[in-house]
Structure 1
Amino acid sequence: MLNAEKLKKSIASINPTAFIFYALIAWFVVAFLIYPNINIYYEIFFKGGKFSFEAAEKLLSSERAMRSLYNSFILAVSLVFTVNIVGVTLVLISEYFDIKGAKVLRLGYFTTLIYSGVVLVSGYKFVYGENGFITKLLASLFPSFDTTWFHGYWAVLFVMTFACTSNHVLFLSNAIRKIDFQTVEAAKNMGASTFYILWRVVLPVLKPTMFALTILIFLTGLAATSAPLILGGREFQTITPMILTFSNSMSSRDLAALLALILGLATLILLTIMIRFERKGNFMSVSKVKSELVKQKINNKLGNIAAHVLAYFLFLIYLIPVVLIVVFSFTDAHSISTATLDWNSFSLSNYIQVFSNMSAFKPYLVSIVYAAAASVTVVALALAASRILHKFNNKWTFALEYALLIPWMLPSTLIAIGLIVTFNTPRLIIGNSILVGTVWMLFLAYVIVHIPFTLRMVKASFFSLDSNLEDAAKNLGAKSFYTFRKVLLPIILPSTLAVLALNFNGILADYDLTVFLYHPLYQPLGIVIKNSTDAQALADTKALTLVYSVVLMFMSGITLYFVYGKKSRL
């Protein structure tokens, strides 16, 4: 009874406008985060109102579907080994060993931070594909060289291996910088070799970061979309492209939903394992006073030469696609289609066409509008939710926080299929409207998938605020919204704008989520860039796509500089 009275008083004290806002947040959570993900189970196992395993039976009897599951797990396991080997090598080259030109090498290794996803895959296909620059070069040197070599499992594995090292160069680099140099020196004074120190002293300290990265790599391989779709061919189809194929037909949407559900269950299981491992682990440093790590020289002459050769070889692999994309973006359609360079073909005509021709600029404009609208909306939602979490501490705010983190536990594929299956018919919860086939569908999906990251970052800013500021404003007679707008928001604004910029960049060239939900009349950049990789794509289209890619890389680079550049060294 007492709790009920407290609840009534608490509700009565809330401003009517704030109460409406809280109600809207609750509606959004129920309608778009909880309902679609519950409804997908109903559509799979209770289709027609009766419990049935028909979808599972259809899946088991579908050779293509089972092969796609097998291929996805093979790719995920393979990437765990290849990405970790390459990623650890990059970090050791740039942070641990004394390699000449390490700062320049680091810039090359960081290129995956400014272009990723469909842009990166299309870039690698442009370089190594049937009509690619490197393929043409190899064919001219070796007349019997097979120009169709770059496709299937090995092509997908190669591209994703070098595409997925971004987290290593960010997080593992930070981890290795925190190693206590005194332990390395102590091991060296005891006569330990360079390899022994690396294996028994350095790598064990990196164990928790390595484990987290391994889980992320496995999940990335399992849910891969762009690389298998563009490079896999018919012989190497994975789960997500197969889900896309099934989702385009009403008769097989239950199969798409079941495949997406399997992907979601795998994600939840792996995240659970990671959380339990981190809780059991004890990775505290035994040193009370840490000294900064000094780069280690490789005393063995042959080993030193091999390390330098490997470092610059990897540098070329990372840099060549970026350089060729930029160079060929200034050439004409003939040079691009034939992968040849001629001084007379260089001009600014491709850039002029993109920014002066509305039909050429439209995909870019569509992506900008989507990215801006979704980024602002998700930041506003995160601000409101963080304000609630900061101001109140009860079971409802606890439930709200966990509900807003739901998209973090589910692959974007499952979220997309849940929205398609749920909102392709009128639903009372959204006013008996149909969202499938509208521009709102993709907008909502962008907001949903970016909520967890945005909430965590904004919430961290809120909880770092000095509570005395708000108390002082309240004592001076300021209302709650005025205090938030004039006192709290200006303090957290820089970090909030940084999150907004990162979200904007992430949405701008998105393909994996976009391909399921985009409106055919408003194709975003990700779709246009992927379409340009098809064999039947016109040379003029490919030229414009290169310009899109260069502009996206430039914008990503600028954003990363302002978000990270002034706070951390390259």
Structure 2
Amino acid sequence: MKKALTSVRASTLILYGVIAWFVAAFLIYPNLNVYYEIFFGEGRFSLEPIEKLLSSQRAMRSLYNSFILAVSLIFTVNIVGVFLVLIVEYFDIKGAKLLRLGYFTTLIYSGVVLVSGYKLIYGETGFMTKVLSAVFPSFDPTWFHGYWAVLFVMTFACTSNHVLFLSNAIRKVDFQTIEAARNMGASSFYILRRVVLPVLKPTIFALTILLFLTGLAATSAPLILGGTEFQTITPMILTFSKSMTSRDLAALLALILGLATLVLLSVMIKFENNGNFMSVSKVKSEMVKQKINNKAANVVAHVLAYALFLIYVIPVILIVLFSFTDAKSISTGTLSFDKFTLDNYVTVFSSMAAFKPYLVSICYAAAASVGVVAVALIASRILHKYKNFWTNLLEYALLIPWMLPSTLIAIGLIVTFGVPRWIIGNAVLVGSVWLLFIAYVIVHIPFTLRMVKASFFSIDGNLEDAAKNLGAKAFYTFRRVLLPIILPSTLAVLALNFNGILADYDLTVFLYHPLYQPLGIVIKNSTDAQALGDTKALTLVYSVVLMIMSAATLYFVYGRKSRS
């Protein structure tokens, strides 16, 4: 039943007004202002930014490179990701549980931490490069850069969604259908191609869209490994955004990235609506792992499975090992037992200067996680309690960050709040610590809202009616009846947000305060050739601690559920 806002208390209206102001000031206004600044920056309509973009070889080359990378990832990540899932979920492979642990390592370290780890291992002075140079004397130590290095790292970094979502999808395949096909004489390859993969089709399609968007907006890998010969859109946007004379180009590139995202999402929705994605059976039977009867194929599958396992686990193992060595060992890529020490860990946790980046990231992550959960709780309460045009508008507005790349959001905030704006009391946010906090909240709103809203709508409405009949006020009912029910899922979302913000680089690099550098910035800076060995040593400690925290977060969110 529709409810009006006429009976709402004044304090509640103020709270709702704050949400409306936040949406207008930080979700709608900056993104619209980007368009204005690009085409009306001088007070009149002009296509000069487009002309500048078309005449800039660097900018056009970055666009070309981004689309090449995005298309390449569709093939490489899907091939590797589907193979991983088949190895651990569908085929009977020896040591599958161990392989699963290796393939899941990308869940505990990603982004700039992962890319810096790969550069540590495969870079010019990296451990694996030293090994390859010893085996092959003519081996080029500067081999790991450019397009192929970026593609290699991102191929193995982007399989996280496959091992999470595609694994769940393959478990839903009806085993009775597989048995029926086998009894009719179908080969294992035919069953895989005509029975199993069609059921996985919608999930693979959704993952493909995500892969394209990930490649299009890639930041860490192209910035650290791309070099001058392979620059993509986001690093180019970052370069242009640092200069007032080229900021319009940065905004235009970000706008192109946003338009590509919207077009791709529209195509995905159209295909999903027109597609006929359904299982071939309505009665499910639990999947039983299939043996590979062909001996040669079985050997090849095992060899490939363990080769991929090594690719995934070697960076993690070496990051941990090198974090216990001195600066010289890290700089030269050599391991020696007599160089092992705890000094790096002692320095990080005893020196405020070394611990400061970690403390900055923790403060940002904690504040932003609590802030976005608070916004989502209030918004979900409104959406749960009222159903009208304004609540629908609120929901769509809160989902805006899901439709736009974080790069465009960052540029919108920079362009808009670099000067006094009446909507925020004529304050200037650029150059303050608040802008990054606001950006973290913005980009995490859609996911948090979806999860919290789902929890709200799973609550039995009779509970609230009973509390109201007993004379409980609205806030008391929310605090003592509704909140305890949704608290477990809300805390899980808070933990995931905290984990995601802690080592963020892609958004942070645009908005961070120079005096308060978060971990993502420090870790990236340690990959530069001129970085000191001591800095690299401390960065490895940061990476190890982040991996431990990520693993603990995943256990908190997923592990305890599987045990219950």
| Structure 2 length-normalised TM | 0.99
What whole-Å deviation, never above 9, does each CA across 1:383-434 have from its counterpart, x for those lacking one? 0000000000000000000000000000000000000000001000000010
1:424-503 correspondence runs (5 A): 424-503=418-497
What whole-Å deviation, never above 9, does each CA across 1:13-52 have from its counterpart, x for those lacking one? 1111111100000000000000000000000111111001
Q: What CA distance in whole angstroms lies between the structure 1 residues aligned with 2:506 and 2:265? A: 21
Q: CA deviation at 1:285?
A: 2.6
* Partner of residue 355, structure 1: 349
Q: What CA distance in whole angstroms lies between the structure 2 residues aligned with 1:72 and 1:283? A: 30
Q: CA deviation at 1:536?
A: 0.4
What whole-Å deviation, never above 9, does each CA across 1:232-270 have from its counterpart, x for those lacking one? 000000000000000000010000000000000000001
Q: Which secondary structure does the structure 1 equivalent of 2:561 belong to?
A: coil
Q: Which contiguous aligned blocks of 4+ residues in structure 1 show a shift greater than 4 angstroms?
A: none
Q: Which secondary structure does the structure 2 equivalent of 1:567 belong to?
A: helix
* Partner of residue 160, structure 2: 166
Which sections of structure 1, spanning at least 5 residues, go unmatched?
Answer: 1-5
* Partner of residue 97, structure 1: 91
* Partner of residue 309, structure 1: 303
**Aligned Cα root-mean-square deviation (Å):** 1.0
Q: Which secondary structure does the structure 2 equivalent of 1:130 belong to?
A: coil
Residue identity matched to 2:102: G
Residue identity matched to 1:418: G
Among 166, 172, 177, which residue is 1:178 paired with?
Answer: 172
Q: Higher mean Cα deviation, 452-461 or 276-285?
A: 276-285
* Partner of residue 136, structure 1: 130
Q: CA deviation at 1:136?
A: 0.6
**Residues 1:506 and 2:507 are matched in the alignment:** no
Residue identity matched to 1:258: L
**Residues 1:257 and 2:251 are matched in the alignment:** yes
Q: What CA distance in whole angstroms lies between the structure 2 residues aligned with 1:505 and 1:131? A: 30
Q: CA deviation at 1:281?
A: 2.0
Residue identity matched to 1:68: S
Residue identity matched to 2:45: F
Residue identity matched to 1:276: K
Q: CA deviation at 1:290?
A: 1.0
Q: CA deviation at 1:112?
A: 0.4
1:333-372 correspondence runs (5 A): 333-372=327-366
Residue identity matched to 1:152: G
* Partner of residue 3, structure 1: none
**Residues 1:200 and 2:194 are matched in the alignment:** yes
Residue identity matched to 1:519: H
Q: CA deviation at 1:283?
A: 2.3
Q: What CA distance in whole angstroms lies between the structure 1 residues aligned with 2:291 and 2:408? A: 48
Q: What CA distance in whole angstroms lies between the structure 2 residues aligned with 1:243 and 1:558? A: 35
Number of residue pairs aligned between Structure 1 and Structure 2: 562
Among 551, 554, 562, which residue is 1:557 paired with?
Answer: 551
Q: What CA distance in whole angstroms lies between the structure 2 residues aligned with 1:446 and 1:326? A: 29
* Partner of residue 225, structure 2: 231
The verdict on how the C-alpha distance between 1:324 and 1:396 changes in structure 2, with shifts beyond 3 A counting, is: same
1:327-338 correspondence runs (5 A): 327-338=321-332
What whole-Å deviation, never above 9, does each CA across 1:273-312 have from its counterpart, x for those lacking one? 1111112223233423210111000000111011000000
Q: Which secondary structure does the structure 2 equivalent of 1:137 belong to?
A: helix
Q: What CA distance in whole angstroms lies between the structure 1 residues aligned with 2:445 and 2:282? A: 38
Q: Which secondary structure does the structure 1 equivalent of 2:324 belong to?
A: coil
What whole-Å deviation, never above 9, does each CA across 1:77-101 have from its counterpart, x for those lacking one? 0000000000000000010000000
* Partner of residue 29, structure 2: 35
Q: CA deviation at 1:373?
A: 0.2
Q: Which secondary structure does the structure 2 equivalent of 1:206 belong to?
A: helix
Q: CA deviation at 1:191?
A: 1.1
Q: What CA distance in whole angstroms lies between the structure 2 residues aligned with 1:142 and 1:258? A: 46
Q: What CA distance in whole angstroms lies between the structure 1 residues aligned with 2:255 and 2:283? A: 48
Q: What CA distance in whole angstroms lies between the structure 1 residues aligned with 2:395 and 2:321? A: 47
Q: Higher mean Cα deviation, 40-49 or 496-505?
A: 40-49
Q: Higher mean Cα deviation, 370-379 or 196-205?
A: 196-205
Q: Higher mean Cα deviation, 181-190 or 233-242?
A: 181-190
Residue identity matched to 1:285: S
Residue identity matched to 1:201: V
Q: Which secondary structure does the structure 2 equivalent of 1:47 belong to?
A: coil
Residue identity matched to 1:138: L
**Residues 1:147 and 2:141 are matched in the alignment:** yes
What whole-Å deviation, never above 9, does each CA across 1:87-124 have from its counterpart, x for those lacking one? 00000001000000001000000000000000000000
* Partner of residue 378, structure 2: 384
Q: What CA distance in whole angstroms lies between the structure 2 residues aligned with 1:380 and 1:281? A: 38
Calculate percent identity across the aligned residue pairs. Answer: 82
**Residues 1:300 and 2:294 are matched in the alignment:** yes
**Residues 1:277 and 2:266 are matched in the alignment:** no
Residue identity matched to 1:567: K
Q: Higher mean Cα deviation, 347-356 or 406-415?
A: 347-356
Q: CA deviation at 1:143?
A: 1.5
* Partner of residue 52, structure 1: 46
Residue identity matched to 1:501: A
* Partner of residue 525, structure 2: 531
**Residues 1:16 and 2:20 are matched in the alignment:** no
Residue identity matched to 1:290: K
1:536-547 correspondence runs (5 A): 536-547=530-541
What whole-Å deviation, never above 9, does each CA across 1:320-379 have from its counterpart, x for those lacking one? 000000011011111111111111111211111000000000000000000000000000
Q: What CA distance in whole angstroms lies between the structure 2 residues aligned with 1:378 and 1:288? A: 40
What whole-Å deviation, never above 9, does each CA across 1:118-145 have from its counterpart, x for those lacking one? 0000000000000100001111111111
Q: Which secondary structure does the structure 2 equivalent of 1:340 belong to?
A: coil
Q: Which secondary structure does the structure 1 equivalent of 2:42 belong to?
A: helix
* Partner of residue 288, structure 1: 282
* Partner of residue 397, structure 1: 391
Q: CA deviation at 1:146?
A: 0.4
Q: What CA distance in whole angstroms lies between the structure 2 residues aligned with 1:238 and 1:471? A: 55
Which sections of structure 2, spanning at least 5 residues, go unmatched?
Answer: none
